[in-house]
A = this chain, B = another copy of it.
Amino acid sequence: MLDAQIKSRYEIRAKIVKAMAHPSRMFMMDELAKGERCVCELTELVGDDVSTVSKHLAVLKNAGIVKSDKRGTQVFYALKVPCILNFFSCVESVMKQNAKDHATLS
């Protein structure tokens, strides 16, 4: 990792992945995969304070994972990158494997 340029590249990558690495944000991405949602809808679903949800969405937007569209007083968020879904299926496969390994251990 000596090369600063390479290091920087991994830092940028990590920033994107880090943006996904939160239960509420994972949930919201899943929800957005079904279609756009306004902050109020997501807030209702997640069950946290609106300000918290808004900040989570800002993290996702800042990472380039979602985009927002203000219509009237509402702001609608939508997934910007479709491959996110494939990614989740990979995470699922890790979970399944873990479950299998765990079962084997007992």
Of residues A46, A47, A89, A98, which shows the largest number of chain B Cβ atoms within 10 Å of its Cβ?
A: A98
- Select from chain B the residue with minimum beta-carbon distance to A18: B21
Query: What sequence of 0s and 1s flags, for each residue 75-96 of chain A, a beta carbon within 8 Å of any chain B beta carbon?
Result: 0000011011011111111110
Give Cα A49 to B69, complex, Å. Answer: 45
- Select from chain B the residue with minimum beta-carbon distance to A67: B101
A40 sits at the interface (CB 8 A): no
A23 and B14 within 8 A (CB): yes
Contacts A1-B47, A81-B93 aside, 11 further interface pairs with beta carbons under 8 A come to A7-B23, A10-B24, A10-B27, A11-B23, A12-B95, A13-B88, A14-B21, A20-B21, A64-B94, A83-B93, A87-B90
